[in-house]
Amino acid sequence: MVGAVSEIRPLRTEEALSEAGTGVDDTGGVEQKRTTTVAMDFGRITIRSGLSLYLFGTPGQDRFWFLWDELAQGALGAVVLADTRRLEDCFPAVDYFEHRRIPFVVAVNCFADARRFGANDVSHALDLEQGTPVVLCDARDRDSGKEVLIRLVEYAGRVHTARLLDSVAPQAGPV
């Protein structure tokens, strides 16, 4: 998705799968997969003059979580890119962002050979907190990826505004 929406040439860290990754890179359900991200992808998209989103795409495997901790510092929000052929792989990412109170959307990458599920079905299957957006998309398509980012920015804006209002609201005390 980073490569599809980035306005600059994205930094990509895709490498061909090799025998060395056997037992490390699980290709169950995606046997045709030939490459894997070995670090992170980076791109940028400008919302308006003076306001840009920096995009970091990281692998979901727990061996890369050390990157997540660094990238999550100051993050506006996150996108959990879901593949319905391996939906259970999303649970660690969902837990990560929920526990850190980082607004996120789930972007369901719709593949031709994958069974289709509606946004409500995915939300229920992942046991998402009420209001967490689920967007059906094609992460390879620029317009579809932009729609995911628009939903993320809108949602993160609402979450951050609500938190700000909660922090300045007068607290009722004993009378």
pLDDT digits (tens, 9 = 90+) for 92-135: 999 999 999 999 999 999 987 778 899 999 999 999 999 999 99
What predicted TM-score, i.e. pTM, was given to this entire model? 0.83
Q: Which residue would you say has higher pLDDT here, 18 or 104?
A: 104
Of the listed ranges 1-10, 41-50, 62-71, the one predicted with least confidence: 62-71
Q: What is the pLDDT averaged over residues 63-80?
A: 89
Q: Is the pLDDT of residue 16 over 90?
A: no
On the 0-12 / 13-18 / 19+ scale of CB atoms within 10 A, 76 is middle
| 144 backbone dihedrals φ, ψ, rounded to 5° | -65, -45
For every residue of 73-139, DSSP letters joined together read TT-S-EEEEE-GGGGGGGHHHHHHHHHTT--EEEEEE--TTS----HHHHHHHTTPPTT--EEEE-T
Pairing of strands 14-16, 104-109: unpaired
Please provide residue 78's backbone torsions phi and psi, each rounded to the nearest 5 degrees.
-145, 160
* Strands 35-37 and 14-16, bridge-based pairing: antiparallel
Which helix (H) or strand (E) is 160 found in, with range?
Answer: helix 142-168
pLDDT band of residue 12 (cuts 50, 70, 90) is confident
